[in-house]
Amino acid sequence: MGIALWHFLRGFTLLYFLSVIIFAVGGWAHAENYNLEPPLVALLLGLLIANTMTIPPWLQSALRVEYYVKLGIILLGATFPITLIASAGAVAIGQASFISIITCVTIYFSATRLFYLDRRQAAVLSVGGSVCGVSGAMAIAAAVGAKKEHIYSTVTLVVIWALVMIVALPFAAQQLQLPPGIAGAWIGTSEFADAAGFAAASTVGKMAGNEESAIKAFTLMKVIGRDIWIGLWSLIWAIIATTVWNKTDQKRKKGVDKGEIWRRFPKFVIGFFLASLTISLYTTTQDSQTFETVIKPELLAPLGALRSWTFIFCFLSIGLSTRFGDLKKVGGGAFSAFTLGVIVNVILGFILSVYIFGNYWAQI
Amino acid sequence: METVRECKTCTYFINHPHALEQALPGFSALSSARGSVRADTGLCQLKETFYVARDSCTDYQNKMLKNAPPGKTP
């Protein structure tokens, strides 16, 4: 990872110590009354520390958000039946794709037609708001020739809205008394980043007393329905940039390369599928009694516990690495276009998750 | 062996995750520089524009040449 091991160990020790405190708070008898769910506590504690103190370099070394969330997703795969992925994949892909396309188009055309933003900025904003946040924006940045300032605005808007959603979506789902599977699916189409979405899904799941359902629905929608297609989005925008925006730019044509689909494929998804397939195949060789008395408590439960720890490391790291002072100011046009997309995204996601596919997600 | 004149060997091009996080304040918040979806996308510090490592342009400057001692060429 290019990090000094000693620095990482020092930082990780503190991260672990803080996680123990967070789990202790979450285990308090009255924690539920105050909605002190560990993911939220981890995030808020991290934000408080990062924005009131200076984070030393040795602690920054351990704030590996990306690695913790990907490891958590792979561990999740181990407790995710492959049959569920096979049966739910089409619904998740269909729903997520429909919402992503509508949201992308909303942000792009409002940014360019209503607020007269540069089309490159509009493109990164639209993919950031509809596919997978800053990662999505970076995936297409080169394809559209985005400038540094275009990514600045996307980073600020995605971070702010992702943090808002971590708090707002679980509370909205709780107030609307949504079943955890439906809430997880709604969060899967509404959140921007995997890590932020897991924080929200985990919170809503704990509030509803069924974290597994919320996280599984979220994973199907976000990882299977959105993340794995980012390479395709990059290819499509490269084609648009060269065939519609600038037909004569030979240099830009170099960016239209089908290899982008694989280059930008989120490789951790392979780990997720392999973990799911391995455990699913193994459990089919065991009888139901062995599954209940041995496999569940001695294999799946420890994997689930490890996953919980990994996600807490992730949420703490998000908080500790988010300094509001570092975020660049955003123009009114970019803010308005992105927010319009957020509104469309949230409403469409609600309608499809609750009314169109509600019966399906409620059974997850 | 002649160096291929692509962004990946250009002195202006940065695509190491840590360097990108330094160049783009706030970028480290969700660790987006380190995901595989970024692939070989990096930032040209001369043009302040994003390119992939396989891109090229007429402002190319070999980073090895820039750093080479006088009288030596890679």
Chain A touched by B31 (CB under 8 Å):
yes
pLDDT for residue A218 is more than 90: yes
Chain A CA closest to residue B16 = A2
More confident site: A354 or A245: A354
Q: What is the mean pLDDT of residues A252-270?
A: 77
Of A93, A91, A66, A85, nearest to A279 (Cα)? Answer: A85
> What's the pLDDT score for residue A121?
95
What confidence tens digit (pLDDT) does each residue in A148-165 have?
999 988 988 998 999 899
pLDDT tier for residue B2 given thresholds of 50, 70 and 90: low
> What's the pLDDT score for residue A351?
96
Query: B52 pairs with which residues across the strands?
Result: B41
Contact A193, A138 (CB under 8 A): no
Q: Dmax over Cα atoms in chain B, in whole Å?
A: 45
Cβ separation B30–A134 shorter than 8 A: yes
pLDDT for residue A181 is more than 90: yes
> What's the pLDDT score for residue A75?
92
Of A300, A322, A294, nearest to B32 (Cα)? Answer: A322
Whether the full predicted model's pTM is greater than 0.90, yes or no, is no
Sign of CA pseudo-dihedral A322, A324, A327, A331: positive
Chain A touched by B58 (CB under 8 Å):
no
DSSP state of A145: T
Contact B3, B60 (CB under 8 A): no
Mutation target among A73, A120, A151 for the B interface, most CBs of B within 10 A: A151
Of A296, A316, A315, A318, nearest to A305 (Cα)? Answer: A296
**Ranges A100-114, A269-283, B10-24, most confident:** A100-114
Q: Which of B38, B52, B56 minimises the CB distance to A135?
A: B38
Cβ separation B33–A148 shorter than 8 A: no
H or E element in which residue A345 lies: helix A332-350
Query: B42 pairs with which residues across the strands?
Result: B51
More confident site: B26 or A175: A175
Shortest Cα distance from B23 to chain A (angstroms)? 9
Phi, psi angles (nearest 5°) of residue A147: -90, 165
How many residues appear in chain B? Answer: 74
Phi, psi angles (nearest 5°) of residue B41: -70, 135
Report the b/e string of A166-177 with b at 16+ CB within 10 A.
bbebbebbeeee
> What's the pLDDT score for residue A26?
80
CB pairs under 8 A between A and B: 126
All residues at 6 or more sequence positions from A30 whose CB lies less than 8 Å from its CB, including other chains? none
pLDDT tier for residue A2 given thresholds of 50, 70 and 90: low
> What's the pLDDT score for residue A259?
84
| Other beta carbons within 10 Å of B1 | 4
pLDDT for residue A168 is more than 90: yes
Shortest Cα distance from A267 to chain B (angstroms)? 7
> What's the pLDDT score for residue B24?
84
Shortest Cα distance from A201 to chain B (angstroms)? 17
Mutation target among A134, A140, A232 for the B interface, most CBs of B within 10 A: A134
Phi, psi angles (nearest 5°) of residue B55: -75, 170
What confidence tens digit (pLDDT) does each residue in A72-84 have?
989 989 988 888 8
Chain A CA closest to residue B55 = A254
> What's the pLDDT score for residue A4?
77
Both tokens of A326, joined, read 């570092």
Contact A152, A120 (CB under 8 A): no
Q: What is the complex's ipTM, to 2 decimals?
A: 0.83
Shortest Cα distance from B71 to chain A (angstroms)? 32
Rounded CA-CA distance A322/A195 in Å is 13
DSSP state of B3: P
Q: Which of B16, B28, B38 minimises the CB distance to A138?
A: B38
Of A131, A207, A133, A129, nearest to A167 (Cα)? Answer: A207
C-alpha angle with apex A269: A352 to A58, nearest 5 degrees?
110
Contacts of B25 in chain A (CB under 8 A): 152, 326-328
Mean pLDDT of chain A: 88
Q: Which of A139, A148, A254 minimises the CB distance to B24?
A: A148
Contact A263, B37 (CB under 8 A): no
What confidence tens digit (pLDDT) does each residue in A223-242 have?
889 988 888 898 899 889 88
Q: Which of A162, A254, A266 minimises the CB distance to B30?
A: A162
Phi, psi angles (nearest 5°) of residue A89: -55, -45
pLDDT tier for residue B39 given thresholds of 50, 70 and 90: confident
Quote the crossing angle between the two packed helices A148-175 and A38-50, to the nearest 10°. Answer: 140
More confident site: A261 or A97: A97
Cβ separation B27–A134 shorter than 8 A: yes
pLDDT for residue A342 is more than 90: yes
pLDDT for residue A33 is more than 80: no
Of A358, A351, A76, nearest to A220 (Cα)? Answer: A76
Both tokens of A63, joined, read 């704030």
Percentage of the residues of chain A whose pLDDT score is greater than 90: 46
Query: How many CA atoms lie less than 13 Å away from A352 in the CB half-sphere?
Result: 25
Contacts of A155 in chain B (CB under 8 A): 24, 26-27, 29, 32
